[in-house]
Structure 1
Amino acid sequence: MELRNWITETFGSTDTLLDDDVYTEDEIREDKIRLKQQRKQLNKDMGSLRREYRELLEEGAKASEAERPQYAQRARMKKKKYQVKQQKFQKNSVQMATIVTIEGARELMEMSDEDNLNLPDMTEVDYGEVQQHLREEMVQYEIETDVMLEVQEALDIDIIGADMDMSGGEEEEIMGEIAAGEIDSEQVDIEDDDEEDVEEDVGLGSSIDEGLDGDVGIGPESL
């Protein structure tokens, strides 16, 4: 099922999504809490399955050739369970990205005092503030950029922009240098960045179809 069709069937039209009377703030808050808890449990389950899978491979490697098929079969079962959890995690990401996008769109509408979302006409709205909020939400809920972009494309809502930089930037490079033993963490100061870089950063403007089928249990039930 294509993502656009799934969102439409689950939530209805974009206009419906943005209607607080149809999908209330309380419902959004409850869905985010539930999805975050589900995500935490899925992460835990996948970690356990990944560890058990590796342990079975190691045990099978030490076992006799006659015993190895049994270990291999058990390992394959762990792998299949992991893949099911992974698909659920992927679906969770799409659901969370949809909710975060809805919140961002509503925030833009509130800032522009408009009843409908019309991005090209919102010339006086500070997109940077909304983009920064979405960026923080993506980090908090571990939503990958490509998932967010696909969801916003399906909703015809482009808030974060396809050129949004969600990479680790300089910090990721520093981590690599520390890991390689090239520098010590005590040599790095949080105030090393110049003001121009900070101001520029604050103003920043895979297929996920698998695992989307089934009861998602999110959004207005009447749709």
Structure 2
Amino acid sequence: MRHPGSKDDETDRCHFSKSSAQVVVLALTPRSSHRRTSIPVRAIFYGLPVPLGLPTVEAWPEEPEWERRRERNARRYSGIVITNDSVSIRAVRTSDSSQWAELYRGYRDFYELSPDDSIVERVWTWINDDSNEVNAFVATSEDRIVGLAHYRRFSRPSTGSVGIYLDDLFTDSSARGASVGRALLSELSALAEREGRSVVRWITAENNTRARRLYDLTATSTKWVTYDLTPGTL
């Protein structure tokens, strides 16, 4: 999904509306320690719908051992065992079309977004169009796509720099607990460092306390509030 108006004022993501969305803006500063894509920390990635249809990134924090065992057993019973070591991150390829579409449909269903396949096709076209700002990483395990991250670069007039904005992050249910989402965040941090970008930014729901426990460990919550203005309403 594209988030309109990437070139904004000092907030870099500010939109004006009669009412504020209950979201929190987070920023991840590129660091060399984020080069690893296999992360030993377990996190179960999950999500809840966010008001106004805003893109979101969700996660569950460390869980008790019995819950981790249940998650591992669920994957084994389904014939799929995914571990931290088996996950790798790479740029999306044109040959990923069907697997990406299946996972992105799952993402849209999970967040109660429109199931319209024309939107899925349009986003895939954006990703594969060099003139479009939207890019994607995928997480794979034994040639199977188990996670995706859609991102784009955005200009920041307040700092005279360019950052990376994370629009969508999603992990297949079979891979939750294998730190796939955190590995994708790590790859984005490493990309930002290589390119000399100033920040990696995303938003999440204010009341998403479980996810924010993870984000508080990997990024910084900012003071900015996000607004949406519906076109033609003023």
Asked if TM exceeds 0.5, the reply is no
The structure with the larger Rg is 1
TM-score by length of 2: 0.29
TM-score by length of 1: 0.30
Normalized per residue, the structure richer in strand is 2
Normalized per residue, the structure richer in helix is 1
Higher relative contact order (CA 8 A, sep 6+): 2
